[in-house]
Structure 1
């Protein structure tokens, strides 16, 4: 039995716990929040026995084996390193950290303490992404990858009225690239690895984060184009184009319909049934790594997380997106 604790009392933590319910090896033991009342309310809602308001106290607790982190992006690295230094396994929400130095510090802490560190990127562990990997050879030489995740943020209306919530606050390492662009980039890295070069552009907001942006990535004999936005919607599917056909994906972040359209006009539906909540598969992967004594996922690996962080860091450099976390103690 893996005794689980959570950091974060927001909707995503609630979703994760709901998704993980069928996994019998996981049992929720504790929740953490800096706000004691929020911690108590969340514990009452989720059935957790313990609450913590001091992270170091929770890290030292011998009642906890593993922690799911769903705090603001800027806090991921510091919290994860502290927990891993006390022997806790960590599943950390995407993006794994604010920058490559933080990601590297997390990876080093995981290895030094012999614990599992995995980025909670649901997309690449879903049945339909696995179907894409299995059938990719059918479309011949790959020439282009296209993905977009453009979703008008429910918090953007408040932003336009003068209230800067976390989603548009650089202090929390937020913005369109970090929150949504990562969903386009991580699958690209899992499928095709590290690009040779990239060119990024962004539409910047007055708060200092990007409202939307695009990246063109070069792989020598193929290109990748990704688009992301928190200030507009898009209804265009993702696509992987090969010389013999194209794989059309309804939504790169949560693919539920995937088909191959061949040059000769044939259409092959390769959709796999998804019987569980989308976040179930990441929870299951993490749990199995722990129970089997493995220390990182083959799919959501340390290397894939680091390359994705490298791409986002270069895109931020090119477009002038800077975070206070870039000057954190882990980055010195």
Structure 2
């Protein structure tokens, strides 16, 4: 069994635990929170034996083999490095950090300690993403990758009334690009590699966080077009366009239906079955690589995570989006 500690006590950790309990080898052993009350309440809800309010103590306790980090984006690097230095394996929510400099420090800590580090980008580890990748040769030479994730945030209602919640607070390295845009960007990196160049546009809110934006990724012979928003909705699917056909993806963040539409009019359903608890696949991948003595996933690799964050940094520079973490 792999004994997990939890850092962060929000809804995403509830989802993680539900999924983890479907995975062989997963054991929930400890929870960390800044306050004893929060830690105890979360532990009682999920039947966790050990609680900690000191992260260093949890990492050195011997009660855990690995941590799942779901703290605010601005704290990912700090929390991950503290655990890695104690020999604890780290599965860290997306985005892996606030910027590429932080990612580089995390990768260095992983290398020095020999402990595994993986970005919990679930979409690229789903069976239907594997189906997308396997379908690429069927559509001929790839010419365009288009990904859209525009979902109006309920927290924007509070923002419009004058209350800035964490989702739109740059102090936590939050906003549309970090929350939704990375879901569009990361698959492009996994499928096609690091782009030659990035061009970006976006809209900053009065808080300094971004509400929406777009990116143009330049590759040899093809381009990637990305749009994302937390202040408007879109029902557009995503596509990978080739010279002989197009792969249509219902939701780039969590593909459920994958369809190949050929130029001759044929339509092929390329979807495969996958569990409704989609986070189970990232947990399985993480446990598998640790058991094999590896520090990184082949899909959500260190190089892919760094390339994605370098593209995010390039986009942020172009739209004038800065975080306090950039000055650390």
> TM-score, normalized by length of structure 1?
0.98
For residue 28 of structure 1, what is the aligned residue in structure 2? 28
Q: Deviations over 1:28-76 (max 9, x none)?
A: 1100000211100000011110100111111211111100000000000
Determine the structure 2 residue equivalent to 1:113. 113
The unaligned stretches of length 5 or more in structure 1 are none
SS at match of 1:115: coil
Quote the Cα distance in structure 1 between the aligned partners of 2:3 and 2:42: 17
Secondary structure at 2:154 match in 1: coil
Find the counterpart in structure 1 of residue 46 from structure 2: 46
2:267 is the counterpart of 1:267: yes
- For residues 283-306 of structure 1, the C-alpha deviation after alignment (integer angstroms, 9 at most, x for no partner) is 110011111212210000000000
Q: Report the Cα distance in structure 1 between the residues aligned to 2:251 and 2:31, rounded to whole angstroms.
A: 32
Question: Equivalent residue for 2:131?
Answer: 131
1:155 match: secondary structure:
helix
Partner residue in 2 for 1:327? 327
How many pairs were matched up?
Answer: 328
Deviations 1:13-34 (A, max 9, x none): 0000001102231111100000
Q: Find the aligned partners of 2:220 and 2:294 in 1 and give their Cα distance.
A: 34
Deviations 1:204-263 (A, max 9, x none): 100001100000111021011000000011100000000000000000000000010000
- The match for 1:307 is 307
Which piece of structure 1 moves more, 93-102 or 18-27?
18-27
Report how far residue 275 of structure 1 moved.
2.7
Normalising to structure 2: TM-score of the pair?
A: 0.99
Matches within 5 A, 1:69-108: 69-108=69-108
Q: Distance in 2 between matches of 1:205 and 1:57?
A: 39
Within 2, Cα distance between the matches of 1:142 and 1:267? 18
Q: Which sections of structure 2, spanning at least 5 residues, go unmatched?
A: none
Task: Work out the CA distance in 1 between the residues paired with 2:196 and 2:8.
Answer: 37
Structure 1 equivalent of residue 228 of structure 2: 228
Give deviations 1:117-153, integer Å, cap 9, x for gaps: 0000000000100001111101000000000111111
Deviation at 1:201, TM superposition (A): 0.3
Name 2:287's counterpart in structure 1. 287
> 3-state SS of the aligned residue for 1:203?
strand
Structure 1 outlier segments of 4+, above 2 Å: none
Residue 181 in 1 paired to residue 181 in 2? yes
For residues 91-132 of structure 1, what are the alpha-carbon distances to aligned partners after superposition, in whole Å with 9 as ceiling and x for unaligned? 000000000010000001011101110000000000100001
Aligned partners of 2:318, 2:17: CA distance in 1, in Å? 38
CA distance in 1 between partners of 2:217 and 2:66 (Å): 36
1:276 offset after TM fit, Å?
A: 4.3
